[in-house]
Chains A and B, each alone.
Chain A
Amino acid sequence: MSSVSFPEYEVAFGRPDSYYEKYERKNELSHATHYCPGCGHGTAHKMLAEAIDGLAIKDRTVLISPVGCSVFAYYYFDVGNVQAAHGRAPAVATAMKRSHPGSIVISYQGDGDLAAIGMAEIIHAANRGESITVIFINNGIYSMTGGQVAPTTLIGMKSMTTPHGRSVENEGYPLHICELLATLEAPVYIERVGLGDNKQIAQATKAVRKAIDNQVKGLGFSIVEILSPCPTIWKMNAVDSQHWVRDVMEKTFPLGVFCDKTKEAQPHAPHPAAPALTELPKILGIEDEPELEHATKPRKIDIDLHVRVAGFGGQGVLLLGEILAQAGLDAGLHVSWLPSYGPEMRSGTSNCHVRVSSESIDSPLVTLPDVLVAMNEPSLRKFDDSVRPGGWVLYNGDEFPADCYRPDVKVLALPFTKVAHEIGDARAANMVMLGALLEIAEDLPQDAIDQALRQLVKTPKWVELDTRALLRGRELFREKCAVEV
């Protein structure tokens, strides 16, 4: 503030309070901005500062500085400051606003930042209706890097990378951000203003204030595009470049309001209160439960079971494995379950590795299964060779393919799907096979299996059917394989 004073006068317009008195973050010439004489950024900054002062929101305001000439906006504004990567300010602003909904988050960006590298971020922030304010400075050029073409460069305009002028053939047309964003449903307020003369500047001042006021009212996404002079790169004096905005630039980028839902927009509903910390284990489904009765010191089980289950997607391959692992866990054993994953889950084959052991499990990969549950022929052919000598193959099919026969492996081949169909639903074939498997893994207690079934199978109808299927599998195994075991 000036040290002079006039007795009968008062300051009507002076350095806004939301600027720092001195720019201490600036290493040299900290008495003035780094902007060139006549730069539009300075004028736009002043509108921003006046609005922050006028709305009395200095403490709540967070300014996101971009990459470009205004990268140092944080030198000047006495508000919370975050400097973002090139083009990413709307993403940074999104999370800042959502983290502290009471803050006033302003993303200040140039045309390279917003309209080129940051196009995805601005469109999606606008489309989500983020309750932020974006100030978009369009001077049709990359100024900080020395004057290369921008998406907003006028046709025919020369730049360091369009030395013969921007051509439609090579660079396409100037990008109209306001018109583009106005096609979205979510934004509340979109206006293009200019710094081309006094009248334009007065309108721009109002627009900037409105865009921030909308956020104060919690209304939603607001953006103001400001056509802004760059005397240095345009190689004009300040006054000529100001008039060039009005007389030339405006023809390509017409000024006006492209969207204004300020009157009908409803303030965003406040966030529901966060639950108490003590509630979290329950909410996350990880709360400690009282020890179940059957789980209290089960009889000592000595087991080290390696199982591979394989079949078509939809045959319940993964569920079979999961019930086995869950039952092992319920019986107080160490378990692991490892599925095949990815698109193969959805298109054809599926398999999983299951280990149930009284000792801690080293490798969860079952490369040498004790039991292979092959729910179809391709799975049998894929994994038959891997079965440990002395192990078992449970095969879902009328007849075991002769060429898969191994003298050192025991086999139970049955049309399990048909069996399941007979007892109620062909889809229970996996449980009939699990029943047979449980006869091999005879140490696994039945109550643990029952409990696992109830945990993992959701409807009572299926629990009942699966229970019968398991029983049928056990019976079949005993009938057919009593001798071998």
Chain B
Amino acid sequence: MTTEQKNDRGKLVVNDSECKGCGLCVEACPVKCIGISDQLNHFGYKTAQYEGARCTGCGICFMVCPEPGALTVWRLVTHHEVVVA
């Protein structure tokens, strides 16, 4: 780690209206960067919330999540990226 601000390898975007707040992604996240919101969404769920840092873009939360589009995982485009098949 350097003190210089670096981009995280990944970013997580939660779609508030789709997420039902089951918490499976919170449990699944290897780096524990997901939490549950204190607020209820429009449909009465306390949805998942990206804590804003440390996402590695591994995608495990996405595969665990039962809703098709509740989570979107972004990954930093780098020239050193190793693609794991």
Contacts and interface: CB of A to CB of B under 8 A. Distances in A.
Complex: A in contact with B (CB within 8 Å): yes
Contacts of B76: 8-9
A178 B72 CA distance: 34
Interface residues of B, number: 37
A242 B27 contact: yes
A36 B72 CA distance: 20
A33 B67 contact: yes
Nearest to B73: A13
Contacts of B70: 32
B22 A38 contact: yes
A148 interface: no
B63 A205 contact: yes
Contacts of A76: 68
B75 interface: yes
A201 B61 CA distance: 11
Interface residues of A, number: 42
A39 B60 CA distance: 16
Interface string B58-85: 0110111111111111111100000000
A292 interface: no
A4 interface: yes
B78 to A, nearest CB: 9
A237 B27 CA distance: 12
A36 B64 CA distance: 14
Given A231-B22, A238-B23, A239-B23, A43 B63 contact: yes
B35 interface: no
Interface string B12-27: 0101011011111011
B22 A13 contact: no
Nearest to B8: A9
A2 interface: yes
A166 B50 CA distance: 42
A217 interface: no
B24 A32 contact: no
24 contacts: A4-B13, A8-B76, A9-B11, A9-B74, A12-B10, A12-B73, A13-B59, A13-B62, A13-B71, A13-B72, A15-B69, A15-B72, A19-B69, A32-B20, A32-B70, A37-B22, A37-B45, A43-B24, A46-B63, A46-B68, A50-B63, A198-B28, A198-B64, A239-B22
